[in-house]
Amino acid sequence: MTTLYEGAFAKLNLTLDVLGKRDDGYHDLKSVMQTVSIRDDIEIDIGTGKPWCLKCDKEGIPTDERNLAWKAAKVYCDVMGKNPDGIEIRITKRIPSEAGMGGGSADAAAVLRALNRHYGDPLSIMALAELGAQIGSDVPFCVVCGTCMCEGRGEQLRRLPDMPDCIIVVCKPEFSVSTPELYRKIDEVAIANRPDHQAMESALLAGDLEKVAHNLCNVFDPVVTSDHLELNYIKSLFHQYGAVGYQMTGSGSACFAIVSEFEVAAVICNMLKANYPNVYICKPV
């Protein structure tokens, strides 16, 4: 029996624009995504001699076919002509669920990378990302990681210069948002503010953290905030204690703030902890 180990890293959306509804019911997006150092750990046993199984240390996470990590193992085995029996996947969960941080997608991507490495890297990282699109919209980016422009459903990736080094505070409120419902809602509202992708790209190219922070823009943020005013409270704390920029990530409900010094992050974190148990300090990776 062999055991594989792989890190599954969370993502944040620095920008997120919804361009329109497609014939397949999905939406075309344009988003700059960033990997951050909040991480699940994936262990995979191969050759257990038993039927496949999946375990997760956190309650409430499905451990059957609905788990994206399992779907990833199945898709990889199908494509490579392998039998998924004898695979045991164990997930140590740290990425908050229903946060807009791609937790399930990160686990799926880690499974794809680990299995591909085990079999001698028959698929390139871009081919693996393409395979990831069959599993979920965020999986291709989670395979590649770093800083990328993501388009289409999320499967068209272009690498961008690394995000400048900084500290990021993430706060996950208790409430959750249904992603399909949010996409339905956004079809009905007029989007007032859209990201300026050219400005974001040149900020990244220049390594200018302040410009990156000022160009954060997520079209879902005002839609979710209008239903959950506590996001304004979190953002006001970010603002009050000197964050350079802040917004909600993906379809929420986590919000993040970019700060330039660890001391500032620690103060924000302490202030939030009084009301929010799920506060994290991380870095771009």
Q: Which alpha helices (DSSP H) does 189-285 contain, by range?
A: 197-206, 209-214, 220-227, 230-240, 262-273
- In the residue annotation, 85 being an active-site residue is answered as no
Helix axes 125-132, 68-80, angle to 10 degrees: 120
Segment near ligand C5P (CB under 6 A); pick from 37-45, 135-143, 228-236, 239-247: 135-143
Is the link from the previous residue into 253 a cis peptide, with omega within 30 of 0?
Answer: yes
Shortest distance in whole angstroms from residue 51 CB to ligand C5P:
26
163: how many CB neighbours lie within 10 A of its CB? 24
Least separation in angstroms between residue 128's CB and ligand C5P is: 17
Give Rg (Cα) of the chain.
19
Q: Which of 29, 42, 75, 110 binds ligand C5P (CB under 6 A)?
A: 29
Nearer to ligand C5P, 66 or 273 (CB): 66
Does 137 bind ligand C5P (CB under 6 A)? Our answer is yes
Using the contact rule CB under 6 A, the part of the chain among 21-29, 38-46, 205-213, 256-264 near ligand C5P is: 21-29
Nearer of residues 104 and 164 to ligand C5P, judged by Cβ: 104
Segment interacting with ligand C5P (CB under 6 A) among 133-141, 156-164, 219-227, 236-244: 133-141
Count of chain residues binding ligand C5P (CB under 6 A): 11
Pairing status of strand 15-21 against strand 147-152 = unpaired
For position 136 contacting ligand C5P by CB under 6 A, the verdict is yes
Is residue 179 part of the contact set for ligand C5P (CB under 6 A)?
A: yes
Q: Rounded to a whole number, what is the distance in angstroms from the first to the last CA of the chain?
A: 32
CA distance 38 to 95: 6
Could you confirm whether 11 is annotated as catalytic?
yes
Could you tell me if 43 and 89 are in contact, meaning their C-beta atoms sit under 8 angstroms apart?
A: yes
Query: Does residue number 27 form part of the binding site for ligand C5P (CB under 6 A)?
Result: yes
The beta strand positions in 27-166, using DSSP E, are 27-46, 53-56, 87-92, 147-152, 156-159
Residue 185 binds ligand C5P, judged by CB under 6 A: no
Q: In terms of DSSP bridges, do strands 87-92 and 53-56 run parallel, antiparallel, or are they unpaired? A: parallel
- Give 29 or 279: the residue with its C-beta nearer to ligand C5P: 29
What gap in Å lies between CA 55 and CA 199, rounded to an integer? Answer: 43
Per CB under 6 A, residues contacting ligand C5P are: 26-27, 29, 136-138, 153-154, 179-180, 183
Which residues are tagged catalytic? 11, 138
